[in-house]
Amino acid sequence: EIVLTQSPGTLSLSPGERATLSCRASQSVSSSYLGWYQQKPGQAPRLLIYGASSRATGIPDRFSGSGSGTDFTLTISRLEPEDFAVYYCQQYGSSLWTFGQGTKVEIK
């Protein structure tokens, strides 16, 4: 089973700042099957990025994904008030989906 480790656990930033979230896999992951999800309190997760770098429908272009192999990054170029949430990376391999433990982006 591939384990995804996200860092940092919590990111304290101000609106307008840049957020960089990391997701590291215990072994190489197909970029085609690496995604990022946003979850706000009391809500279901929402797909942001799929295929490591493709934005889902309706996702603002301030969100971008990059990476390959074992290291992937989600970048939020300029934080908006609605972006403060928990972010999860996810991968698929060997008929099994796994999630990272999440990074909380909080208001500083």
Q: Which residues bind other proteins (CB under 8 A)?
A: 1, 32-35, 37, 39, 43-47, 50-51, 56, 88, 90, 92, 95-102
* Residue 89 · residue 72 · CB < 8 Å: yes
Nearer to other proteins, 46 or 62 (CB): 46
Q: How far is the CB of 45 from other proteins (least distance, A)?
A: 6
Instruction: Residue 14: count other Cβ atoms within 10 Å of its Cβ.
Output: 8
Report, in Å, the least distance between residue 80 CB and other proteins.
21
Nearer to other proteins, 15 or 51 (CB): 51
Query: Whole-number minimum distance, CB 16 to other proteins, in Å?
Result: 28
Task: Decide whether 14 or 95 has the Cβ nearer to other proteins.
Answer: 95
Q: CA torsion, points 90, 42, 16, 61, in degrees to nearest 10?
A: 50
CA–CA separation, 58 and 21 (whole Å): 21
Nearest C-alpha neighbor of 86 from the set 24, 22, 35, 11: 11
C-beta of 104: minimal distance to other proteins in Å? 11
